[in-house]
C-alpha cells in the first residue's frame, strides 16, 4: 500500500496512512515520513491497536535512533524503561502511570542542554470526552512576527529550568530537577532549517542579560502572540493512535489535570533524543 499524508482539517499536522509497523519500513517510505514530519511538525498514525512495546520503540526510531528514558523513573514501563506510562488508573494502591504529564505549555526536555528532538505517544485507552492534547505552532508564530521583533529576538538566549513549573514531584523530593540551561530564544530546526520561537511558559525562567521585569514583559508579549487561536490545535485522541511531534517546531499542553477521574486514559510515551540547540 502506498503511504500518503492527509493534512489535518482543523490545524497543522497530518495523518500518515498506509504504514505497517509489523514490517520493516523501506528507505523510500522512511524518507517520505521524514519529509512529512519536517513539513507538518505533527504526524498521527491511526488504528494501531495492540502494539507491543518493541513495536512502539521501533516506530519511535523512525524519527531518531537514540531514545532516552524519562527522569520520572517510577513511571517507566515494566518491560522497558524507554517507555513511560501515562495513566490516571490505579492498580491496587499505586498509580498505573503518571496522571498528569503536563497540563501547561511546554516543549519536552527543554530543561536539558540537549532537548528532545521528538516525542511519540501511543494511546491504549482514551475517554469518550476530555484528555485532549493541545498544540501550538511556534514555527508559524515566528514567521508572522514583525521584522522589528525578529531583529530584537535575534541572538537572545533564555534560561530553562524543569522545576520552574511547580509540581508535587519536585516539592516532595521524589525527583531532582537538572540545573538551569541556556537555549536560544529563536531556534533553527536542525532538520528543516526553519526558525521557531523556543521559549515556553512552563520551563523558561528568564531571558539572559535582561532585568527580571523586562524579561517577563518580553516573554508575555511573545506568549500572547503565540497562543492566538490561529496557531493552536486541539488533538482529540482515539485508541490505537500513534502521535509524534517535533519539539523544535511546536509546544504542547496536556489537559489531563481537568479530566473526569471516572474517565480513563492510558498512553505510552517515548522520547527521541536530540542534539544541542546552538
The mean of the pLDDT values for the chain is 95
Domain extents in the chain: 4-272
Can you give the pLDDT at residue 159? 98
Confidence class for position 177, pLDDT limits 50, 70, 90: confident
Assign 3-class secondary structure to 146-159: CHHHHHHHCCCEEE
Distance CA 70, CA 68 (A): 7
Encode pLDDT of 198-248 as tens digits.
999 999 999 999 999 999 999 999 999 999 999 999 999 999 999 999 999
Q: What is the pLDDT at residue 169?
A: 66
pLDDT band at 10 (very low <50, low <70, confident <90, very high): confident
Predicted confidence (pLDDT) at residue 193 exceeds the cutoff of 90: yes
Half-sphere exposure (Cβ direction) of 8: Cα atoms closer than 13 Å: 21
Determine the Cα–Cα distance for residues 49 and 32; give it in Å rounded to an integer.
23
User: 96 with 252: CB under 8 angstroms?
Assistant: no
pLDDT of residue 39: 96
CATH fold label, 4-272 = Double-stranded beta-helix (3.60.130)
Cα separation, 242 vs 238, in Å, equals 9
pLDDT reading at 117 higher than 90: yes
Taking alpha carbons only, the member of 244, 242, 178, 232 closest to residue 205 is 178
Cell of 8: 489535518
Indicate the DSSP class of residue 121: E
Q: What is the pLDDT of residues 118-169, one digit of tens each?
A: 999 999 999 999 999 999 999 999 999 999 999 999 999 999 999 898 777 6
CB 160 within 8 Å of CB 183: yes
Alpha-carbon span 240 to 34, nearest angstrom? 21
Amino acid at each position: 500500500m502506498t503511504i500518503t499524508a492527509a493534512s489535518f482539517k482543523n490545524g497543522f499536522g497530518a495523518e500518515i496512512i498506509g504504514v505497517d509497523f509489523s514490517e520493516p519500513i523501506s528507505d523510500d517510505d522512511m524518507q517520505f515520513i521524514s519529509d512529512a514530519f519536517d513539513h507538518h511538525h505533527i504526524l498521527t498514525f491511526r488504528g494501531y491497536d495492540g502494539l507491543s512495546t518493541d513495536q512502539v520503540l521501533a516506530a519511535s526510531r523512525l524519527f531518531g535512533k537514540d531514545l532516552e528514558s524519562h527522569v520520572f523513573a517510577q513511571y517507566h514501563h515494566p518491560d522497558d524503561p524507554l517507555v513511560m506510562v501515562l495513566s490516571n488508573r490505579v492498580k491496587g494502591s499505586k498509580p498505573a502511570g503518571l496522571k498528569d504529564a503536563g497540563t501547561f505549555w511546554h516543549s519536552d526536555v527543554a530543561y536539558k542542554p540537549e532537548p528532545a528532538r521528538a516525542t511519540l505517544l501511543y494511546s491504549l485507552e482514551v475517554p469518550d470526552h476530555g484528555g485532549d492534547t493541545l498544540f501550538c505552532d511556534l514555527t508559524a508564530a515566528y514567521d508572522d512576527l514583525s521584522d522589528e521583533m525578529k531583529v530584537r529576538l535575534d541572538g537572545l538566549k533564555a534560561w530553562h529550568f524543569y522545576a520552574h513549573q511547580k509540581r508535587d514531584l519536585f516539592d516532595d523530593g521524589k525527583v531532582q530537577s537538572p540545573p538551569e540551561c541556556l537555549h536560544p530564544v529563536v531556534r533553527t530546526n536542525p532538520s528543516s532549517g526553519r526558525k521557531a520561537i523556543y521559549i515556553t511558559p512552563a520551563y523558561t525562567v528568564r531571558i539572559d542579560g535582561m532585568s527580571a521585569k523586562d524579561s517577563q514583559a518580553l516573554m508575555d508579549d511573545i506568549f500572547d502572540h503565540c497562543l492566538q487561536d490561529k496557531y493552536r490545535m486541539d488533538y482529540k485522541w482515539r485508541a490505537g493512535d500513534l502521535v509524534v511531534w517535533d519539539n523544535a517546531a511546536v509546544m504542547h499542553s496536556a489537559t489531563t489535570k481537568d479530566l473526569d477521574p471516572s474517565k480513563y486514559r492510558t498512553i505510552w510515551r517515548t522520547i527521541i533524543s536530540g542534539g544541542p540547540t546552538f
